[in-house]
Structure 1
Amino acid sequence: MKGNRWLSVILLCAVMLLIQSLNAQKMQHPGINQNAADLAEMKHKVLSGQEPWKTAFNQLKAMTDAPFVAKPFAHVLRGPYGRPNIGGNELSASAEMAYNCALVWYITSDRKYARKAIAILNAWSPVLWDFDYNDAKLLAAWTGHALCNAAELLKYTNAGWEPKDIDAFQHMLMTAYYPLLRYYFPEANGNWDGAIIHSIMAIAVFTDNRPMFENAVDHFLHGPVNGSVFKYIYPNGQCQESPRDQGHVQLGLGEFAGAAQVAYTQGVDLFSIGNNRLGMGFEYTAGFLLGHTQQCYCVISERAKNLGGNYEYVYRHYKAMGVELPFVKTAADAVRPKAARNVLTAVRQLNGKIITQSKPHRQYPLQSVAGAGAIQQKPYPAAVISVLPGQSVQEAVDKAAGSGGQVLIKAGVHTLPATLRLPSGVQIVGEGIASILFLDPASGARDAIVNNEEAMHDVAIKNLVIEGSVSVDPGTDPNSNRSFKGRYNRGGIIFRSSKEGGMRNIMLENITVRNCTFNGVLISGADSVTVSGCDLSENGGNVIPGPSLQHNLLLTHCRKIKVEHSRLVTSPYGSGIALEHCRQALLARCEVARNGYYGILISESKDILVRQNLIEGNDRSGALIAFLYKGSDGVIMDSNLIHYNGGYGVESYAAKNSRYVKNIYEGNGKGAQQEKISDEKTVLMH
């Protein structure tokens, strides 16, 4: 025993030394947007007159030749929409000019450009103290990486920048910039954290801070709310800000790509992750801007539809990796004549040793579109009861009750004056995404639809939207009215019985339930429950009884469950799906993503099959099989793609007769262990 104890100590010391060695590892220099080989290749292309680099350089040089004197401020203030704006424009212009001049210095070896860049950095370094107002973090994030790129070039090219001035610049980064940026800001639209990650990576490289760099990489992969690339770009390429305007979308994409460019210089490949997720976001957006119709789980914005300047590097990177992005190529070709610096900084020597090969393409399990409007509407029988906006939905369902009759919810907003009480033997069918059921906030009720009788049976709700927000107008900012802000208490479909099997034969098909702070769908005590082709998103906030207790889909004490081809996404405080005290359930070919708790939460349940799902970007583990009293029995997770969740891919405690097979794991948590399968009867306390 004593020998084993000493062996353990020796192994522990070895591990600690390895960790310290990795943490002490220096960054490559120059090494922010480009490394030394990249810069040399860029210079060669320009000086040998190759296009488009020669023209881009001439344009850049013309910009740097313009008169410029830095005007530094101790306190830089930038409010929303630039009001107030004290020092913000001056700092932005200084950062751009400093980087431009440093590049021209490197290419020409003309010291007047080095002196101009150094003068700008030296002007700000001893003066800038802090940032303030609404856009403080955003402004710091926009300017930080440009300043660092300029500084990196000057420091490592014998430009004549004095050590005391380099120290003053680094002091500014670590006392004015980093304290503001280090906590990120994922509650804002995703372009904010994209920019913050970008600048933190650049600061980490310049200051040789490996832990800071690794922290930024981790946030890029696992950041909560809107903070990671998986929160910002969905599997179909749609972006978190797609319903806002295309200017902000391109800004966000450009900042995430800029961060990935810095990481790639340091040997970390963030471009190929998630099935080339960055490229998919750019391709989706470029296609829309070029006039191609894109499928969107929103109304994609027509605002600011001008092509931005961030396509060049993305196009060239993916082309070199053998990934074709035709819309990105067309966009890059279109903006190249005006891109200048972006054309030069896109140059890479891709035969360098640090460059890793692109990961293989993977097919996602969910290929079909989910939610209202996803299916082509069939002709309705003559006996259907049609309801126009303004007419009573409750009267129509009461009339159809018991006969299996259909109630057609015509296109438009149907404001419910009170909770809709659903009787047995009725189908409610809409005309797609335009058929919206909306509980009047003035009603004082919480839930949009409930069962009218405890033994409700043979009901179906199909092809319509249940809007859980307090307004059917989402506004132009997709982040302004989201359910995580918790200013209201609203539920979607809530069906409850007081005994198992008390309800039966419940069908939800191609419906969209969104923005409920309580559960989007809660069914308790039912046999034969089918959820097919549904889009349940942004449900499950932090209202009473509290966070982590309400979800997009919560099924309790149910049997014979089938959930398939559905989206269970973006619950701000809950899970995509939670199964409690359930039996005989199938979850198949669903997207379970971006949820603030676990992707899939299973407790005290039996005979549960989870197969061929995409489980990604959830803040905790992709799936948790939790132990509470006796644990679950017969849980099988088979052939799921489980990647880039904040915790483990699968986390399981005391689940008897359970198997986890053929799952594909990548990038879950902070370590190499992708599964935690324990026989211990561990009750999690968080």
Structure 2
Amino acid sequence: MRRREFLGYTAAALAAGVEFGRSTAAVAEAQSARSEGSSSRGRFVHPGILQTRAELEFMKSMVLARKEPWFGKWTEMLALPLSSLSFVPSPVTHIFRGANGLQKNGDDELHASVDAANSHVLQWYVTGDRAHAEKTAEILDAWSRTLWNFGGNDGKLIAGWTGAALCNSAEILRATYPEWGAEREERFKRMMTEVYLPLDVDFFPEANGNWDAAIMQTLAAIAVFTEDHALFEKVVTHYKFGQKNSGITKYVFPTGQCEESVRDMGHTQLGLGYFALTALVCWHQGVDLFGLADNRLALGFEYTSKYMLGEAVPYFGDIATKGRGSFSDFYEVAYQHYRYVKGLDMPYTEQAVLKAREHAKTTLTQYRGAEPSAAPAKAAAPQIPAAALPGASLNAVQAPANAKRIAPGDSIQTALDALHQAGGGSLFLAAGYYELAQPLRIPSGVTMSGAGRGTIISLEPTLSGACLVAAELDLHDVVLREFIVEGGTQHLPQPDPNEDRRVHATYRAASRGGVHLIADRQGQMQRMRLERLTVRNCTLSAVDLQGVAEVSIAQCDLCDSGGRVAPGPGNHNPLRLTHCQRVLIRGSRLDGSLAGAGLRAISVDTIKVERCEAARNWKSGLSFFNCEHVTVSESLLEGNDENGIDLIRDQRQMKIDAGEGNILRLNGAEAASREDYAGR
């Protein structure tokens, strides 16, 4: 997808500039008037989409005073053909764009008009030349009279890209040029509410997160322009709680890695940028979305900027190299808001801003304000070492001295059986891909380890069922560590992992699981340890333990598993425990269940969950059903579509360390209880 660099939305950087030009007291006053993620039902601020009047005045003063970099970028803008009064819009009735920009009709013409409208409305504001106001009105009216709909694979996306910028131009024109008139204004409003709004009002969370980020920006702009409080509340709620890839904690993970970081850097920058622009519109209306989840968006910008600048970052999956080092012009708004308004240190984003300014020659993102008078209050993005990530280690792990070593092509089952015959022992799997013609039967008394993320075990693509199973019902003393169990049918990373996720989430997907150790009675299996194991992309449960006593799960990454295959949603999870005893889950990641909870524990006696993350699950983060002696402490439970912790039926001696160590936030049940909850 080609990145659109048009003036309409990138001019939003001007909005931050005036905040910097104001006094510290004024900025503090503005912040105090905003509550994090909650909205006011008072009057809308106009103009108040990408720029307020005060911000426009600041920009105007800098240009007229020939201050740099404002004046230089202003001059560049004036040199563009679309900035000329000779520009003529070319509206079409039906805009169409297929996947990846193919089979286009009207797309380029609309974007040219968006750029031109923004340029002329700013020229009108700065120079007072009525010809530019009329040119803006001409462009808006040409499309308002003509456009009927958007079609094709990318129709919703094109509307998301362009609607906010058009509303911003119209917002400025309405506030400063009475001659625009009620008739032309009403035609424009009808285009927004009858063409743009019906297409995007239900969002599109099934797509990668950059789609809904752009859609949210346009819906927020329409809400402001038309003074639609219900629509504005819907956007705020979706930003916080949106399902699949939509909400802020769905898109930016606690490490700063983004949902599209494994795809490419171009789309990742789009997603972050539109989340920032949506937050900017809401900020102008008294709602602070920038601060959600401890400034999570700032964390995403810092992480991405650091990686784009060539430095190493911790990551899950396979972080993309495509687009690395090619800086888009989306950094400015986030940087200036977090650095100057919130007083956060954004060292990598600052470098990215400078890189983007070198290349974004046709935009106004280069506008910036005064330097802060005080040092930043705190760092926005703590540096997380790769060694702290749960799951199989990123760096190669060496074989234990006493381990039998095998390589890809050797039979793992033969080696395990030999160890069992010898009374137990240790087996090391060298780095490589191990494809199994049948499930691997794990015997008692063995430790099986790998070289970290370089060791991948998977069933043949045509097979169903679990990848690792118990060789005996009274299995005991087993350790599994430092390798990946791949539940998907392809072990190589796909260009767009969201496509695979959609397939895995259907009820018709192949039934494939990870580690399933299942006994016939409680306590029949004993002493199972899973350490630094990654199990992913399973339609069945990633790890399913039944009837096991003494379970230790430490630093494991159990993610993107638990789909809709029979017997249906909710019955498969990243981690499922049934009739187990004395379970400790520590430092693990139970994320991204396709149709279940991160952990589902049924009839478990004594279970402790410590320092874990259960996030972005289709149901709850942690679900306990008829369990006894349950403790949850120091865990992050966020962005789940239901509850952070779900207690079902009789929970005896349950202890939730919510007051001190646990963080429960932005889970769907919280949205459902809010007055402004809408449209899920």
The bucket for the TM-score relative to the shorter chain is: 0.7 to 0.9
Indicate the residue corresponding to 2:219 in structure 1: 200
TM-score (norm 2): 0.88
Give distance in 2, aligned partners of 1:642 and 1:323.
Answer: 24
- Which of 309, 333, 346 aligns to 1:313? It is 333
Give distance in 2, aligned partners of 1:195 and 1:502.
Answer: 53
- Which of 657, 671, 674 aligns to 1:671? It is 674
Indicate the residue corresponding to 1:635 in structure 2: 655
Q: Indicate whether 1:330 and 2:351 are aligned.
A: yes
Indicate the residue corresponding to 1:451 in structure 2: 470
Matched position secondary structure for 2:299 = helix
The code of the aligned residue for 2:288 comes to: D
- Which of 64, 70, 75 aligns to 1:53? It is 70
Q: Indicate whether 1:534 and 2:556 are aligned.
A: yes
Q: Indicate whether 1:476 and 2:498 are aligned.
A: no
The code of the aligned residue for 2:78 comes to: K
Contact 1:313 1:345 in 2 (8 A): no
Indicate the residue corresponding to 2:174 in structure 1: 155
Q: Indicate whether 1:467 and 2:470 are aligned.
A: no
Correspondences of 1:116-127 after superposition (within 5 Å): 116-127=135-146
Structure 1 residues 388 and 350: CA distance shift in structure 2, 3 A: closer
Q: Indicate whether 1:168 and 2:168 are aligned.
A: no
1:568-623 C-alpha deviation (Å, 9 max, x unpaired): 11112111111110111110111111111001101100111100001111111111
The code of the aligned residue for 2:611 comes to: R
Contact 2:396 2:451 in 1 (8 A): no
The code of the aligned residue for 1:446 comes to: G
Give distance in 2, aligned partners of 1:300 and 1:533.
Answer: 20
- Which of 43, 47, 52 aligns to 1:35? It is 52
Indicate the residue corresponding to 1:503 in structure 2: 525
Matched position secondary structure for 2:203 = coil
Give distance in 1, aligned partners of 2:289 and 2:571.
Answer: 34
Note the C-alpha offset of 1:379. Answer: 4.5
Matched position secondary structure for 1:624 = strand
Q: Indicate whether 1:554 and 2:576 are aligned.
A: yes
Indicate the residue corresponding to 1:586 in structure 2: 608
> Structure 2: which 5+ residue stretches go unaligned?
1-38
Note the C-alpha offset of 1:532. Answer: 0.3
Note the C-alpha offset of 1:179. Answer: 0.5
Structure 1 residues 329 and 404: CA distance shift in structure 2, 3 A: same
Note the C-alpha offset of 1:378. Answer: 5.0
Contact 2:302 2:380 in 1 (8 A): no
The code of the aligned residue for 1:400 comes to: L
1:634-675 C-alpha deviation (Å, 9 max, x unpaired): 333342011111114xxxxxxxxxxxxxxxxxxx6553999x
Give distance in 2, aligned partners of 1:359 and 1:160.
Answer: 48
Note the C-alpha offset of 1:376. Answer: 6.8
Give distance in 2, aligned partners of 1:478 and 1:32.
Answer: 34
Indicate the residue corresponding to 2:565 in structure 1: 543
Indicate the residue corresponding to 1:377 in structure 2: 397
The code of the aligned residue for 2:55 comes to: D
The code of the aligned residue for 2:335 comes to: Y
Correspondences of 1:201-240 after superposition (within 5 Å): 201-240=220-259
Give distance in 1, aligned partners of 2:103 and 2:530.
Answer: 50
Give distance in 2, aligned partners of 1:673 and 1:375.
Answer: 46
Higher relative contact order (CA 8 A, sep 6+): 2
Contact 1:273 1:359 in 2 (8 A): no
Structure 1 residues 619 and 347: CA distance shift in structure 2, 3 A: farther
Contact 1:404 1:425 in 2 (8 A): yes
The code of the aligned residue for 2:320 comes to: S
Contact 1:100 1:341 in 2 (8 A): no
Correspondences of 1:348-387 after superposition (within 5 Å): 368-373=388-393, 377-382=397-402, 384-387=403-406
Indicate the residue corresponding to 1:421 in structure 2: 441
Note the C-alpha offset of 1:73. Answer: 1.1
Give distance in 2, aligned partners of 1:154 and 1:531.
Answer: 60
Matched position secondary structure for 1:464 = strand
Give distance in 2, aligned partners of 1:672 and 1:434.
Answer: 49
Give distance in 2, aligned partners of 1:602 and 1:465.
Answer: 27
Note the C-alpha offset of 1:121. Answer: 0.6
Contact 1:237 1:283 in 2 (8 A): yes
1:508-565 C-alpha deviation (Å, 9 max, x unpaired): 0001000001101010111100110000110111111111121100111111101011
- Percent of residue pairs identical: 36
Note the C-alpha offset of 1:343. Answer: 2.9
Give distance in 1, aligned partners of 2:562 and 2:317.
Answer: 19
- Which of 629, 638, 643 aligns to 1:621? It is 643
Q: Indicate whether 1:136 and 2:155 are aligned.
A: yes
The code of the aligned residue for 1:315 comes to: Y
The code of the aligned residue for 1:465 comes to: I
**Bigger shift: 53-62 or 540-549?**
53-62
Note the C-alpha offset of 1:159. Answer: 5.5
Structure 1 residues 342 and 613: CA distance shift in structure 2, 3 A: farther
Note the C-alpha offset of 1:195. Answer: 0.5
Give distance in 2, aligned partners of 1:292 and 1:364.
Answer: 12
Structure 1 residues 309 and 273: CA distance shift in structure 2, 3 A: same
1:355-393 C-alpha deviation (Å, 9 max, x unpaired): xx99997989999211011577355224x2222112211
Indicate the residue corresponding to 1:436 in structure 2: 456
Contact 1:38 1:347 in 2 (8 A): no
Matched position secondary structure for 2:449 = strand
Correspondences of 1:244-393 after superposition (within 5 Å): 244-305=263-324, 306-320=326-340, 321-337=342-358, 338=360, 341-343=363-365, 368-373=388-393, 377-382=397-402, 384-393=403-412
Matched position secondary structure for 1:237 = coil
Correspondences of 1:52-71 after superposition (within 5 Å): 52-63=69-80, 64-66=82-84, 67-71=86-90
Indicate the residue corresponding to 1:12 in structure 2: none
Structure 1 residues 481 and 348: CA distance shift in structure 2, 3 A: farther
Contact 1:540 1:550 in 2 (8 A): yes
Indicate the residue corresponding to 1:490 in structure 2: 512
The code of the aligned residue for 2:662 comes to: N
Structure 1 residues 125 and 348: CA distance shift in structure 2, 3 A: farther
Contact 1:606 1:632 in 2 (8 A): yes
Correspondences of 1:109-120 after superposition (within 5 Å): 109-120=128-139
**Bigger shift: 134-143 or 340-349?**
340-349
Note the C-alpha offset of 1:171. Answer: 0.4
Matched position secondary structure for 2:479 = strand
Give distance in 1, aligned partners of 2:556 and 2:583.
Answer: 14
Structure 1 residues 29 and 54: CA distance shift in structure 2, 3 A: same
Structure 1 residues 642 and 360: CA distance shift in structure 2, 3 A: farther
Give distance in 2, aligned partners of 1:497 and 1:258.
Answer: 53
Indicate the residue corresponding to 1:26 in structure 2: 43
The code of the aligned residue for 1:324 comes to: D
> Structure 1: which 5+ residue stretches go unaligned?
1-21, 352-356, 649-667, 675-686
Structure 1 residues 548 and 350: CA distance shift in structure 2, 3 A: farther
Note the C-alpha offset of 1:216. Answer: 0.5
Contact 1:287 1:327 in 2 (8 A): yes
Contact 1:519 1:551 in 2 (8 A): yes
1:67-88 C-alpha deviation (Å, 9 max, x unpaired): 4211111111100122210111
Contact 1:375 1:510 in 2 (8 A): no
